[in-house]
Copies of this chain bind each other. A is one copy, B any other.
């Protein structure tokens, strides 16, 4: 049904439409891409493509515009991910290398991605679950309060002020800290609940109430922050773009952690580092936009996801190239630190 030439026509339509933002007609198409056939032939192919739902015309006697289905076919079969230039790679490398801590890595990453793609970039903070405990610190603030600080191997630091049920001497706190560290050091966060479950029993009975309080906060910290924090950058890039839905809706979605989370979504492939592309209506939470996302993290240790959000009419090959490259570099940086 769709022979090679028809596919070539579809590809040409997508490319032209993306670059010009105007419905593309048969004549211009036959000229710009050297298809070796006449506009009339192209028209016939277009009619077939429209019949199949890959393209549509805004009104009778305007050019054709790709549908979501058309973009989908383009992404899946008609395009190749476009690698970044050497200059861009160098720029990424030096920019990310300058980061001083995890916050800084994430901030730089999201800005970089926004600038590179000229879209809105979205980065999820590395998930705690897959990280390991590097250190647990208990800092006595006064007789009844301690601050719990949890440091992970990704450089992430979580802190909570804990109100104790009774006064506890500093030396006992120190002891508890030592126990906690010997118990948890280097362990995956997901195994923490299990590891601490019988811990109170191994302590002197008088320490147990305080220990229980501290442990409950520790566990709470793990689940609460799990997957939660997401940042974005490049909202200014939305100013020019036109969405089928309102700009307001997009901006609102960006400020809703939950929606943002859903947009980045789960891996659709078995390979977590594969690129996920959701186009227009395929996207359940914000129709009219496209999302290109991927997991990042080194090898089997996938930490979180990042990606970009833009209008359906985006340059998919370039965007996919940028997302993939940034994910790789940030994975490297995190693995090294």
Residues of A within 8 A of B (CB): 100-101, 111, 134-135, 137, 139, 141, 147, 149, 151, 155, 157, 159-161, 224, 233-236, 238-240, 246-248, 251-252, 254-255, 337
Contact = CB atoms under 8 A, between A and B. Distances in A.
Nearest to A102: B159
Give the 7 A-B residue pairs with the shortest CB-CB distance, closest first: A239-B248, A236-B251, A236-B252, A135-B139, A235-B251, A157-B159, A239-B247
A137 B149 contact: yes
Interface of A is mostly: mixed
Nearest to A251: B236
A47 to B, nearest CB: 39
A186 to B, nearest CB: 11
Contacts of A111: 255
Contact of A157 (B141, B157, B337): B157
Contacts of A147: 134-135, 151
A153 to B, nearest CB: 9
5 contacts: A101-B159, A135-B141, A137-B149, A155-B159, A236-B248
Given A137-B149, A151-B149, A161 B251 contact: no
B161 A157 contact: no
A149 B238 CA distance: 38
A159 B233 CA distance: 24
Contact of A139 (B137, B246, B248): B137
Contact of A137 (B100, B137, B234, B246): B137
A151 B139 contact: yes
Contact of A255 (B101, B139, B235): B235
A224 B98 CA distance: 14
A233 B235 CA distance: 12
Nearest to A253: B236
A238 B251 contact: yes
A248 B238 CA distance: 8
A239 B253 CA distance: 13
Contacts of A248: 236, 239-240
